[in-house]
Amino acid sequence: MATGTEERVSAAPARRGAYARHRRTVPYWLTAPAGLYLLVFLVLPMVILVYTSLQSGGLFGGLRFSWAWENYTDGILQYKTQFLRSIVISGIVTVACLLLAYPMTYWIAFYGQRWKSSILLLILVPFFVSFVIRTVQWRFMLGDNGLIFGPLKSLGLLPQGFRVLATPFAVVAGITYNYLPFTALPLYVALERIDKSLVEAAKDLYASKWQAFRRVVWPLSLPGVFAAFLLTFVPATGDYVNAAVLGGPGTRMIGNIIQETFLHSVNYPLAAALSVVLMVAMLILASIYARVLGTEDETLTAAI
């Protein structure tokens, strides 16, 4: 009897030992398919984008690789207004998104109790509808005689000439609406992870509500704020659908230029150069983030 148990006890580690050699290769086998796919359809395209951006020549004479850095200098000089406008609009959008999303996610994370996930779902549900359709609905709502301003104008509360559509305000409003979930999710994850008893502790030590927030909650939520900034500011800078649907000729952003140069004027090298500028900006911001908080930080990714 006794020997039997002993054998059984020793058998388990022996079996594990036999698999140990295989086990070491397991993560590589699991990673290989997706890793290869991302290499070919994420990394390689970006490398080719850089390669394309350094080509010269016309579409008819054929494009040649020639270290044509002038694509960059020309592109940035020619479109500096749009670059600047994109950064300003995107900056305003990011601040607006943070101001709107922070109080909302704070309340859900701290006071949502067992309704937390249901309220979160309510926030995310509108985004099941394609964002082109949502943006088009805003055009109907913000139109000169649309759902919001039409009635106000007929009541005489607004002058007839009042308009929002085709102004930078409409573009900012549209992008803010579309990118709000990208701000809200990382904020929510960061706030949700905060140990609520820390706030209790602060209050036990006679901190006021405001002090408890300022000294405890806010610093602990900063990773979420950074993640929200990264996921809102960078994609918003490259957005062009809102500017195309809600904006006018005076609100074109760098995304509109890239899209038009690529698909309509078919000047691949110039368009690629403009795109690379955005890509490098993104890579710099992402690397800073990864340096400071690590790529496995859950505030950025667990939410998604």
Please give the residues from 10 up to 29 whose contact with another protein meets the rule CB under 8 A: 11-12, 15-16, 19, 23, 26-28
Instruction: Tell which positions 265-294 bind another protein, by CB under 8 A.
Output: 268, 271-272, 275, 278-279, 282-283, 285-286, 290
Q: Count CB neighbours of 9 within 10 A.
A: 9
**Binding residues for another protein, total number by CB under 8 A:** 96
- Selected binder of another protein within 34, 67, 155, 210 (CB under 8 A): 34
Q: Helical H runs in 112-195?
A: 116-124, 131-142, 149-154, 168-193
* 56-64 LR contacts (CB < 8 Å, sep 24+): 56/269, 59/266, 59/267, 59/268, 63/268, 63/269
Residue found under tokens 């998104």 = 97
- Selected binder of another protein within 95, 141, 158, 220 (CB under 8 A): 141
Q: Which is nearer to another protein, 150 or 248 (CB)?
A: 150
- Selected binder of another protein within 82, 94, 237, 242 (CB under 8 A): 237
Residue among 225, 234, 233 nearest 300 (CA): 225
193 Cβ contact partners less than 8 Å away, ≥ 6 residues apart: 298, 299
- 64: β partners: 56
- Selected binder of another protein within 140, 152, 218, 288 (CB under 8 A): 140
Instruction: Tell which positions 163-192 bind another protein, by CB under 8 A.
Output: 177, 180
Residue among 164, 183, 184 nearest 174 (CA): 164
Q: Counting contacts by CB under 8 A, is residue 198 touching another protein?
A: no
Helix (H, G, I), strand (E, B) or coil at 55: strand
Q: Counting contacts by CB under 8 A, is residue 95 touching another protein?
A: no
Minimum separation from the CB atom of position 138 to another protein (A) = 6
Q: Counting contacts by CB under 8 A, is residue 79 touching another protein?
A: no
Instruction: Tell which positions 48-67 bind another protein, by CB under 8 A.
Output: 48-49, 51-52
Minimum separation from the CB atom of position 210 to another protein (A) = 12
